[in-house]
Amino acid sequence: MHYTEGKGVTADLAKAAEWYRLAAEGSLAPAQYRLGSFYEKGRGVVRDLAEARKWYQRAADQENVKVMHNLAVLLADGALGKPDFARAARWFEKAAHRGVRDSQFNLGVLYARGLGVKKDLSAFYKWFAIAAKLGDGDAAAKHDEIANSMPQDQLVNARKAVSSWNEKAINEDANRVESDAAWKGKPADAASAADMGLVKQAQLLLGNFGFDPGPADGVAGPKTLEAIRTFQSREGLPVNGAVDKKLIRALASRMI
């Protein structure tokens, strides 16, 4: 059964893409990841894999974990030309070390086939075993089969590598954005995009009026909240530090 998106849904996605672009251009990694995903899938924008790769690369450079995997898939699939298995393997490995099961599985496959890396049965077993340990059903079904094909001494070393593996910590700033409580129950894309967009818009306006909200990055940090409260106090508004449409209207009214 096939469905088409209605005009309202398409308009909402286009608006979400605009908000994501605003935050992505302010170097917010989760927004760069989302914008790249929109371009990869043609959601709210014209599908453009070159643009997808550009935004994925920027987010991956900031250590956004999900985008590391997506970028590796684009590279391995040759979506923009010839497959680049060597670069794909590097990004799969970065994501694999941070607990991304699909990256662990795909990295194991590359080691099994010698694509972008030296063929290595021990590494193949290691990543499939780790993925299985973290709940990947396909890896769980196959890693015993791999073990049966390995020399005993090689298997012992591979199992030691699995038992000694520890997941690397992720960069929280590059992977999570706290949403305003007022957006609870709203679609995740629209909520997070609008939230980031409002914050950045407020930061830009505050900066224009001589306040110091810190970098216009879409994140309501301490400096941004302090600048908002100072503005609210001077304008005789409730001093609550809230980033909402009332604040944007109050800031915009100063431009008239």
The pLDDT tens digits for 5-28 are 444 446 778 888 888 888 888 788
Structure tokens at 144: 């015993």
What's the rounded Cα separation, in Å, for the pair 175 and 25?
16
- The confidence score (pLDDT) of residue 214 equals 84
Residue 1 CB burial class (10 angstroms; 0-12, 13-18, ≥19): exposed
Q: Which long-range contacts (CB under 8 A, 24 or more apart) does 128-133 make?
A: 128/104, 129/158, 129/159, 129/162, 130/96, 130/104, 130/162, 130/165, 131/101, 131/104, 131/105, 133/162
Q: What is the pLDDT of residue 47?
A: 93
Nearest-10 Cα torsion for 154, 160, 163, 164: -130
Place of tokens 């030691």: 160
> What is the predicted pLDDT for the residue at 254?
64
Burial level of 223, CB count in 10 A (0-12/13-18/19+)?
middle
Domains of the chain: 7-163 (1.25.40.10), 177-253 (1.10.101)
The pLDDT value recorded for residue 97 is 97
Pick from 33, 23, 105: nearest CA to 64: 33
pLDDT value of residue 118: 97
pLDDT of residue 222: 83
pLDDT along the chain (256 residues), means of 10: 40 81 84 92 92 95 94 90 94 96 95 96 94 90 86 92 94 69 44 62 79 81 87 86 78 59
Residue 65 has phi, psi (to 5 degrees) of: -70, -45
pLDDT at 162: 93
In the chain, the amino acid numbered 210 is G
Please report, for the chain, how many H helices and E strands are present, in that order: 13, 0
